[in-house]
Amino acid sequence: MNFGKYKIAQQINNKGIYAGIELEAEINLQPFNIKIEYETSFFEGWQSGTEWKSAIAFGTQYFLAHIDTPYNHRKGIYVKVIRFQGHEVDTTMALVSIVTIKALMDALKVSIYKEPFVDTKNFIYCFPF
């Protein structure tokens, strides 16, 4: 398992964005097989973190779909989320997906094509397709 993390905390005009994630990941040989596990207390400061699990799952699927490999060489992925940090006002599902993708890139030391980003000038979350 490879450790990766990514955190963004930024004030843009009068709006803030904040999210962070720490995870372990490894590619597996079963095409498109995605398995995500969560540490018992990984949602730091949240009563219930279940609302963010779908954003983490989307980020993982986006990452796997955009690794620059031929279609017939697609692999699966195993992810273990260790810690998630967010704030009720400054954390969105789109942002959680982006930090998940960036943490997976860090863990597996790969880049992806059509990498998502935060347009800080216009305050837009961008997922190129």
Into how many domains does the chain fold?
A: 1
Task: Look up the CATH number of the domain holding residue 38.
Answer: 3.30.230.10
C-alpha separations of 65 from 1, 34, 35, 43, 68 in Å: 20, 11, 14, 26, 9
Instruction: Tell me the residue length of the chain.
Output: 129
Compute the distance between CA of residue 4 and CA of residue 21 in angstroms, rounded to an integer: 8
In degrees, rounded to 5, the angle at the alpha carbon of residue 42 between the alpha carbons of residues 119 and 120 is: 10
Q: Which domain holds residue 91?
A: 2-126
pLDDT in tens, the chain (129 residues): 999 999 999 987 788 899 999 999 999 888 778 999 998 666 555 555 667 899 999 999 999 988 876 655 678 999 999 999 988 888 999 999 999 999 999 999 998 988 999 888 888 899 987
